[in-house]
Amino acid sequence: MRFSGLRVLREGLTGNKGWQPHWRDPEPKAEYDAVIIGGGGHGLSTAYYLAKTHGMTNIAVLEKGYIGGGNVGRNTTIVRANYFLQGNSEFYSHSLKLWEGLEEDLNYNVMHSQRGLINLFHSDGQRDAFVRRGNAMAVQGDDAVLLDRAGVARHLPYLDFDNIRFPVYGGLLHPRGGTARHDAVAWGYARGADRRGVDLLQNCEVTGIDIENGAVRGVQTTRGAIRARKVGIVVAGRSGQVAAMAGMRLPIESHVLQAFVTEGLKPCIDHVVSFGMGHFYMSQSDKGGLVFGGDLDFYASYAQRGNLPMAEHVMEAGMTLMPMIGKAKVLRSWGGIMDMTPDGSPIIDKTDTGGLFIDCGWCYGGFKAVPGSGFSLAHLMATGQHHAPAAKFRLDRFRTGRGLMDEEGTGSQHNLH
Amino acid sequence: MRVDGKGLIDRDRAVSFRFNDRYYTGFAGDTVASALLANGVRLMGRSFKYHRPRGVLTAGSEEPNALVTVGQGAAQDPNVRATVQEIYRGLAVRSQNAWPSLRLDAMEVNDFAWPFLGAGFYYKTFMWPRAFWERVYEPVIRRAAGLGGLSGRHNPDAYEKAFAFCDLLVIGAGPAGLMAALTAARAGADVILADEDSLMGGRLNAETYRVDGQAGPDWAAEAVAELAGLPNVRLMPRTTVTGAYDQGTFGALERVNHHTGRRGGGAVLECFWRIVARQSVLAAGALERPVAFRDNDRPGIMTAGAVRAYLNRWGVSPGARVAVFGNNDDAHRTAQDLIEAGVEVAALIDSREDVAQSGDYKTYAGAHVCGSSGRQGLRRITVRRAGREFQVEADCLAMSGGWNPTVHLTCHLNRRPTWSDEIQSFVPTPGAVPGMTAAGACNGVFSTAGCLKDGADAARTALKALGLRPRRGGGVPDADDTAYRLQPLWAVPGKGRAWLDFQNDVTVKDVKQAAVENFRSVEHMKRYTTQGMATDQGKNSNMAALAVLADATGQGIAQTGTTTFRPPYSPVSIAAMGAGAQGMGFAPRRLTTSHATSVAEGAPMIEAGLWYRPSYFPRAGETTWRQSCDREVGMVRDAVGVCDVSTLGKIDIQGADAGAFLDLVYCNTFSSLAEGRVRYGLMLREDGHVMDDGTTARLGPHHYVMTTTTAAAGNVMRHLDFVSQCVAPKLDLRFTSVTEHWAQFAVAGPNSRELLNGLLDAPIDDGTFPFMACGPVTVAGVAGRLFRISFSGEHAYEVAVPSRYGESLFKLLVARAQALGGGAYGMEALNVLRIEKGHITHAEIHGRTTAFDIGFARMISAGKDCIGKVMAAREGLLDEEREQLVGFRPVGAVRQLTAGAHVFEQGAEATRVNDQGYVTSVAFSPTLGHFIGLGFVKRGRARHGEVMRMVDRMRGIEAEIEICAPVFVDPEGGRTRG
Amino acid sequence: MAELTGKTPCDGLLPLEIGAVTLVEADPGRLTSVAPYRGGAEALGRALVSAHGLDWPAPNRMSVKGAARLIWFGRDMALLAGPAPAPGLAEHAALTDQSDAWAAVDLAGDDAEQVLARLVPIDLRAAHFAVGHTARTLIGHMTASITRLGPDRFLILVFRSMAGTLVHDLKTALEAVAARR
Amino acid sequence: MRLTCPICGDRDRREFYYQGDAVALDRPDGGAGAETWDGYVHLRDNPAGRTRDLWQHEAGCGAWIVVLRDTVSHEVFGVELAMSVGEAGA
């Protein structure tokens, strides 16, 4: 069924009786050409592009819970391409281009809203660093505009410019940056993959990876054994456990990142605002809730929940930057499992096991990467060649020191990125 | 209307307040909701999506409909529950989400377009044309959405945070909570009793139950009085425990002055508590669930428990002719309370067949309410019985679908609750929160006697864990012990829209459609329909929605499971959790001893980490910072300048292994440094990149003092602690920060020694104090330290005295410097001087650079191990292709260089693939008369002399630049040594 | 010869009296951090007793002898407050002059505990933090040393450069507590 | 979240700095080879369950501590001083 305003109209007039499932719930087959472990954003988009771009339709996505239940369903929905190191730069640039065509491509309104993202800076040194970033974005072909203090005030008049611990010197505006409706992205890709014949197997947890003489042969799951010559591990925070099934130890530590949403409010924040000194960022959802977050809780965790010190720090950052939000009331808080790498940049690569691929290490930047990551992993799995925009996301860069992408410059301590 | 002789309000104290454009009068103890109902006001709000007219559904913080905005101007407070807001003189509240008025709301048109606005409709449309989303659809949707509004102005009110500790935290002061607190407190436990209500007693204040032969409210008041008299008890009314966190930590929001007009003068509006409890008892009660039937959302239709609360606690009947509908005995108690209060009961509709007449009112057994009418207020209901439908006139309907235990806090650590067939709801899973015991209604125990006993038992469990003994005797008081009987009733079948989530306008149809579209997992259904995502987080609706979903998917409710409850239990203002940070409170301010003097000199102070440092010292006639900066640079190059460098980290290191320790943390060697000498040191991270640099002086055989950069002082201190405790625990040394003890000033320039010799008790010369010498000195009679080191490249010193003398010495140094043709210089000049000399800062060692990149690879001593040595030798970090530190100078028409610009080969297009490097630091060098820069270029060291192109798209500047050595002034160092 | 004049960290900021609490700058005298070398603890303990009559304090405790205080100050470290350290101590421990490194304030009054409860994340009630107890912890966002000198009296040390923030934070808490009376 | 510092006692998480897996205590010697060093600096077991990690009581006594902890439940099983672990070891 194709979605359109007309369809909504027709269904409305006929009692909404004609709607059909967005995806099937098929029984697992004994064998697929490829299986993707992980029914999150990245796994679903990988399946979608394998089917759409590479014509691989005899494939399955194995999800231990419900699809879209991981980080794609619990993030702060920010979409941007404002990196400054080679490797990240071209990848996120490509991903953003995919975002810009996503609704037509998926025939699903993911509410991608390019409302503009502003990174604030608070010293001359930070300005120079953001100028360098902005220039990197510009030479990559993406958009960036340097704002002085007055320029920021024009966009964000509600910030405290007069009495603030770390005054606003200016900001870097990324006009094409913005947000999207996170769940819809997972559902749109799921529906798109399903319509192309991909089996989405929910409540299907992988319990083992079958390897014969150095090559993958399939997986063991809670819904039986499934044979496949190509297996992609796309499980974000759970990468460590799944990779261990293939005898791998990863350069990853899983951490909790909290996020928060307030009660619905009339429109008051029109951009995505990021406050570097406070590790605080905020946008307003179309429903009216202020969606915001900050830094990791900093301790390794799989709990999908955080603790008060970081929550308080985030609120404090909000109060010093934009005291107009004081009377907004936090409705809900939650946590996601972040697969943190030693340089804060991701991994899309083959492994030492033939036919086994891994896509992980997205830290807390995974949502905006959903289209690009799936596209590039699909390319790698289908062709055996690294997709150019993701060619630098190699697993061995830490051992060799070649092509490290440490945007924060904080070094190999996983939780500092 | 008011009912005489009922309620716990103070009828001698009338209080007037404003709702929208009218003034109303209530009594002390009223909430906005009870007072409006007493005044016959039923319409209090509009729903989120269809803008349906709505009145109160509940009498508590879970209220989804009656949300109002309190106050106006900067302090306006949106989305306040009218059911919680106590009235006080001068209170002004407004309804929300309605325009032009609450009665006449233009957006009500949505309600007629409902067939097109069902579950998830927006995922299926608004896609064409693409550009319309940001320009047309989204703005319209955003304006229609949202509830109340923020003022858009800085928060003007005071909030605070605090910590509290106890043996036992009792959450909820109903019969179970009071009994738990009494039992524990009498046993000597250190107890905190927190309750979200202004009046402790919970349902005892809303019902007509008797306890120990007393009226419920009287017994509660006595219990509270006893607790208030005990030294080991802290009562926290108006305090909602909002979250359970690890190791017995709880968040709690105290509403300190929302019930008064008191603002300013230190009075805070709210306090956010961090409560640490060794044990806790959850006695949070239960929430009554509505029944879904066609048009069950009209103003005047509310839960039966709310009707009894308004009647018994506030002496208000929500209607003149009240009908009651339920699936359990509470419906009958409601009717009885109404009759007893002299209110007409239009009918009692009980979905159960086997019910006896319980009072003098028309009773329909085995019947359902299947519809209602009255757009802005209930006029009549439709009752269906034995296939026959008829109407009953009523202006209020009390409905009871049974009760849901308030299990929320037991789920905050991610454990799921357990389904109970008996009460057709979820109950806490024991042990879900370590140290927490659930008691009373939130534990699925609904009779008053049961709650009292369960509370006492829970306290005993806690006391045992605390190693305390319950006091003998002190039995549980007698009270009603009627069993709770209900027959599941979630949604009355029928046409039309039956509301589940009132605020978000989610109907039974929506949930069924979600199931049809295969959003069959409870999480999918929630996210697709927005069921349970309103301000009540599904407190009123999740159970029924689950049941409808379970029915639609053919699974049981237990199998379907619940969505997760997450903190906060009820919403918490950002101002409360972020209290103290507004303005300057976000981080401490660190001021040097020369701060006041610098400010008095007119120096703009800039943030340097937590410190403040002077940018430059303007003099008469100077109109731009550049004029001052150029002059200050000239002073240092030609005469003498004084700069406060106290913000650099200083670490005092002593012990037999101090030298060995420094050899480990620095890539170069310090054990061989002579006493009385200083050496530059480079510190690596274990991953082989540069962490920090600085000078370290050897003051004695086993005594060194290390300096760090201002930016990295904290990290370096932590790193040294790590290395000494975790990596080399056997080395014998101790160290501590002396950053704050010493005020240290750079005295730089040809006249620096002359200046100092005027202050030192024992003058110095090149013999006694050559370059890189250090030692104790007496400065103007005060014991201090002198280091002959130079960041500026001039003949320079750093002189340190105990901080108490800092301001005095700074003034003295500046005065002497001025007499010698110099003066104070600030960060701008300091930066120019160091760039001219090619000294790096964290602009260059930004965390991605190696010793190799900055040309210091040879500093990594081959003869010893050091942190970072092995990883620094990784092939990828020694690749000649890496970006290497170079200098830049303009050679084209454009003379300006800018930091952050990227570097390209001449003629090459400015694209990512052609990118050759970038500029990290620039300065106009008054010494050389042109801009100079530092930065990194691929194979840079081999490209000196090459002319390239600097491109700064952000600032719109392009310039031809020549790559050169990163030292512009006195590369041989003659000035420094001379 | 020019003479240098000294200035205390809270110069111009204190005293304050709000509600039932007073806040004044304290003068703990000469401050020396004492950190025993490997295996030096015992000898140091003896030397301290003979030189200053002070026992090496257990963690989170302070020992007092007349005007001399030895305040536990962290892992294997104590702060000698009052006298100049006897030279002999240097054999067994690293001695570092900290006299000018700390801003010291004296908080006293019925509500002193209530005031600190707004800023300090540890249980400072007398039953758990008695006279002579000390702690290294936080006050607001600052690391601090907090010692109970009397039933309703505390000595608070933070880095000298943060004196202004310390006074600001305490003043705000004092006003909030006073407003609740 | 609260941790019991072996020196200061039970304290709020806000007083502690977190570094990561306690593997950091087992620094290889210079000649240990690239694989070993890669394992030390980058690779992690990253268990969903019991873990042994390294914290510092930075806002307290300054001690580095080794914490036995569950990364799923956040239960803490034990805490010891890194110093004593190190001295016991090699």
- C160 lies in a domain? yes
- Give the residue on C whose Cα is nearest the Cα of D87: C38
Show residues of chain B in contact with C143, CB under 8 Å.
Answer: none
Instruction: State the pLDDT at residue A290.
Output: 98
**Contact indicator for B270, B254 with CB cutoff of 8 Å:** yes
The residues pairing with B957 across neighbouring beta strands, listed in sequence order, are: B952
Q: What angle do CA C15, C16, C19 make, to 5 degrees?
A: 150
Where does CATH 3.50.50.60 sit in chain B? 159-286+405-466, 288-403+486-560
Q: Which residues 110-149 in chain C show a CB within 8 A of chain B? A: 117-118, 120-123, 125, 127-128, 140-142
> Each residue of A279-337: pLDDT tens digit?
899 999 999 999 999 999 999 999 999 999 999 999 999 999 999 999 999 999 999 99
Q: A259: pLDDT confidence band, cut at 50, 70 and 90? A: very high
Residues A242 and A347 in one domain: yes
Mean pLDDT of chain B: 97
What is the DSSP secondary structure assignment for residue B762, as one 8-state letter?
S
Among candidates D35, D43, D71 on the partner chain, residue whose Cβ is nearest the Cβ of A301: D71
Judging contacts by C-beta atoms under 8 Å, the chain B residues touching residue C2 are 759, 780, 812
User: If you average pLDDT over residues B555-559, what whole number do you get?
Assistant: 91
Q: What is the pLDDT of residues D13-36, one digit of tens each?
A: 999 999 999 999 999 999 999 999
Shared domain for C81 and C106, answered yes or no, is no
Helices (H) and strands (E) in chain B, counts: 22, 50
Which of A394, A358, A393, A362 has the alpha carbon at shortest distance from A248? A358
B926, two tokens: 């008054």
Residue B563, pLDDT score: 86
pLDDT greater than 90 at residue C1: no
Same domain, A123 and A58: no
DSSP B168: E
**Number of structural domains found in chain D:** 1
Distance, CA of C122 to CA of C127 (rounded, Å): 13
Task: Provide mean pLDDT across the span A133-139.
Answer: 98
Give how far B809 is from chain C: nearest CA, Å.
6
What is the chain B residue with the closest CA to D29? B865
Paired tokens of A175: 């006009």
At B190 the pLDDT is 98
Domain boundaries for CATH 2.40.30.110 within chain B: 880-977
- Give the per-residue pLDDT at C2: 64
Pick the CATH number of B159-286+405-466 from 3.40.50.20, 3.50.50.60, 3.40.630.30, 3.10.129.10: 3.50.50.60
**Which of D2, D12, D41 has its CB closest to that of B871?**
D41
Judged against a pLDDT cut of 90, whether residue A128 lies above it is answered with yes
Assess A12–B contact: CB distance below 8 Å, yes or no: yes
pLDDT of B806 above 90: yes
Q: What is the domain extent for residue C105?
A: 16-27+100-180
Q: Does B685 touch chain A (CB under 8 A)?
A: yes
Residue B90, amino acid: G
- In eight-state DSSP terms, residue C154 is E
User: Residue C11: inside a domain, yes or no?
Assistant: no
Which residue range forms the structural domain that includes residue A232?
A: 5-78+182-250+343-416
Per the prediction, chain A carries an average pLDDT of 97
Longest dimension (CA), chain B: 115
Residue A99 lies in a domain: no
Q: List the beta strands (DSSP E) in B718-842.
A: 734-737, 742-748, 774-779, 782-787, 796-802, 823-824
Whole-angstrom distance, CA of residue B7 vs CA of residue B11: 9
User: Each residue of C48-97: pLDDT tens digit?
Assistant: 999 999 999 999 999 999 999 999 999 999 999 999 999 999 999 999 99
Same domain, C73 and C20: no
- Catalogue the E-assigned strands of B84-154: 92-95
Fold (CATH) for B649-737 = Alpha-Beta Plaits (3.30.70)
Domain membership flag for residue A361: yes
> pLDDT for B707-723, tens place per residue?
999 999 999 999 999 99
> Is the Cβ of B607 closer than 8 Å to some Cβ of chain A?
yes
Pick from C68, C97, C126: which residue ends a domain?
Answer: C97
The verdict on a CB contact (< 8 Å) between A329 and B572 is yes
Of the candidates B95, B113, B115, the one whose C-alpha atom is nearest the C-alpha of residue B54 is: B95
Same domain, C130 and C87: no
Nearest CA in chain A to D50: A301
Is residue B175's pLDDT more than 90? yes
pLDDT-derived band at B475 (thresholds 50, 70, 90) equals confident
The highest-level CATH class for domain B288-403+486-560 is alpha beta
**Which tens digits make up the pLDDT trace of D57-87?**
999 999 999 999 999 999 999 999 999 987 7
pLDDT category of residue D90 using cuts at 50, 70 and 90: very low
pLDDT score, position B533: 97
Rounded-to-integer distance, Cα B519 and Cα A68, Å: 11
Residues C157 and C116 grouped into a single domain: yes
Residues A164 and A274 in one domain: yes
Query: Which pLDDT belongs to residue B138?
Result: 94
The domain over range B1-154 is classified in CATH as 3.10.20.440: yes
CB A119 within 8 A of CB A281: no
CB contact under 8 A, C74 and D15: no
Closest CA to B675 of B703, B707, B706: B703
In CATH, what number is assigned to the domain containing residue D42? Answer: 3.30.2270.10
Q: How many domains does chain A have?
A: 2
B848: closest CA of chain A, how far (Å): 5
Phi, psi for residue B509 in degrees, rounded to 5: -55, -45
Cis peptide, bond prior to residue B568, ω within 30 of zero: yes
Q: D35, D42, D56: which to substitute to probe chain A, counting the most A Cβ within 10 Å?
A: D42
Cβ–Cβ contact B722 with D under 8 A: yes
Is the minimum CB–CB distance between B870 and chain D shorter than 8 Å? yes
- Chain B contact set for D64 (CB, 8 A): 721-722, 725-726
CATH of B595-647+741-830 given 3.40.50.2300, 2.40.50.140, 3.40.1180.10, 3.30.1360.120 = 3.30.1360.120
> Is A31 in the same domain as A57?
yes
d(CA B301, CA B409): 29
**What gap in Å lies between CA B253 and CA B272, rounded to an integer?**
5
CATH architecture designation of domain B880-977: Beta Barrel (2.40)
- Same domain, yes or no: A223 and A273: no
Instruction: Note whether C75 contacts D63, CB cutoff 8 Å.
Output: yes
Q: A105 in a domain, yes or no?
A: no
Using the predicted structure, report yes or no on whether residue A359 has a pLDDT greater than 50.
yes
Could you tell me which of B610, B353, B656, B615 has the C-alpha nearest to residue B485? B353
CA angle B664, B667, B669 (to 5 degrees): 75
- In a domain, residue A259? The reply is yes
- Please determine, for residue A413, whether its predicted confidence score (pLDDT) is greater than 70: yes
* Pairing verdict, β B214-215 and B210-211: antiparallel
Q: Average pLDDT in the B111-121 region? A: 94
Q: Which of residues A316, A340, A364 is at a domain's end?
A: A340
